[in-house]
A = this chain, B = another copy of it.
Amino acid sequence: MSSMGPPADENLETKEIDLRSMSSSSLGQAPQAHKVAIPPRQNLFKEFQSTIKETFFSDDPLRPFKDQPRSRKIRLGIEAIFPILSWGRSYNLKKFRGDIISGLTIASLCIPQDIGYAKLAHLAPQYGLYSSFVPPLIYAVMGSSRDIAIGPVAVVSLLLGTLLSNEIDPKTNPTEYQRLAFTATFFAGITQATLGVLRLGFLIDFLSHAAIVGFMGGAAITIALQQLKGFLGIKTAHFTTDTDIVHVMRSVFSEAHHGWNWQTILIGASFLGFLLVAKYIGKKNKKFFWVPAIAPLISVILSTFFVFITRADKQGVDIVRKIEKGINPSSVKDIYFTGEYLGKGFKIGIVAGMIALTEATAIGRTFASMKDYQLDGNKEMVALGTMNVVGSLTSCYVATGSFSRSAVNYMAGCQTAVSNIVMSVVVLLTLEFITPLFKYTPNAILSAIIISAVISLVDYEAAILIWKIDKFDFVACMGAFFGVVFVSVEIGLLIAVSISFAKILLQVTRPRTAILGKIPRTTVYRNIQQYPEASKIPGVLIVRVDSAIYFSNSNYVKERTLRWLMDEEEQEKGDYRTKIQFLIVEMSPVTDIDTSGIQAFEELHRSLEKKGVELVLANPGSAVTDKLYASSFANTIGEDKIFLTVAEAIAYCSPKVVEDP
Contact = CB atoms under 8 A, between A and B. Distances in A.
A654 interface: no
Given A470-B627, A622-B530, A1 B208 contact: no
A509 interface: yes
Interface string A399-416: 000010001001100000
- A interface bracket (residues with beta carbon within 8 Å of B): 35 or more
Given A4-B407, A504-B550, A556 B209 contact: no
B531 A34 contact: yes
A157 to B, nearest CB: 18
A476 to B, nearest CB: 9
Interface in A569-607: 588-589, 591-592, 594-596, 598-599, 603, 606-607
Interface in A86-133: none
A631 B507 CA distance: 21
A410 B8 CA distance: 9
B546 A205 contact: no
Interface string A250-288: 000000000000000000000000000000000000100
A531 B1 contact: no
Contacts of A660: none
Nearest to A55: B510
B366 A209 contact: no
B462 A3 contact: yes
A472 B594 contact: yes
A439 interface: no
A375 B470 CA distance: 34
Contacts of A39: 529-530
Contacts of A72: none
A297 interface: no
Interface in A367-395: 367, 369-372
A623 B548 contact: no
Interface in A456-474: 456, 459, 461-462, 465-466, 468-473
A469 B591 contact: no
B366 A4 contact: yes
A257 to B, nearest CB: 40
A559 B370 contact: no
A644 to B, nearest CB: 6
Interface stretch (A137-145, A233-241, A516-524): A516-524
Given A551-B209, A552-B206, A471 B47 contact: yes
Interface string A13-45: 000000000000000000001100101000010
B622 A527 contact: yes
A500 B645 contact: no
A503 interface: yes
A529 B46 CA distance: 15
A625 B530 CA distance: 10
B595 A627 contact: no
Contact of A372 (B370, B507, B521, B610): B610
Copies of this chain held together in the complex: 2
A589 B546 contact: yes
Contacts of A54: 510
Which residue, A363, A472, A519, A555, has most C-beta atoms of chain B within 10 A?
Answer: A555
Contact of A2 (B459, B500, B547): B459
B407 A627 contact: no
A553 interface: yes
A321 interface: no
A58 interface: yes
A508 B509 CA distance: 12
A69 interface: no
Interface string A43-76: 0100110010011001110000000000000000
A512 interface: yes
A623 B472 CA distance: 13
Contacts of A60: 563
A362 interface: yes
Given A205-B509, A462-B3, A526 B644 contact: yes
Interface in A349-373: 362-363, 365-367, 369-372
A205 B553 CA distance: 7
Contacts of A339: none
A236 B260 CA distance: 79
A527 B38 CA distance: 12
A573 B631 CA distance: 43
A551 B205 contact: yes
B631 A468 contact: yes
Interface string A207-241: 11110110010000000000000000000000000
Contact of A551 (B210, B403, B559): B210
Interface centre among A55, A470, A560 (most CB of B within 10 A): A470
B607 A369 contact: yes
A588 B209 CA distance: 24
Contacts of A5: 286, 407, 410-411
B459 A44 contact: no
A621 B547 CA distance: 13
A630 interface: yes
Given A469-B631, A509-B202, A588-B588, A208 B500 contact: no
A326 interface: no
A411 B8 CA distance: 8
Contacts of A434: none
18 contacts: A3-B459, A5-B410, A7-B370, A8-B411, A33-B519, A34-B519, A37-B532, A205-B555, A208-B594, A209-B596, A369-B603, A369-B607, A500-B552, A504-B552, A507-B548, A508-B508, A512-B591, A588-B589
Given A5-B410, A209-B595, 19 more contacts: A1-B209, A1-B213, A4-B367, A8-B411, A33-B522, A34-B522, A34-B524, A58-B556, A208-B552, A209-B551, A209-B599, A210-B551, A365-B603, A369-B603, A369-B606, A372-B606, A466-B595, A469-B595, A507-B548
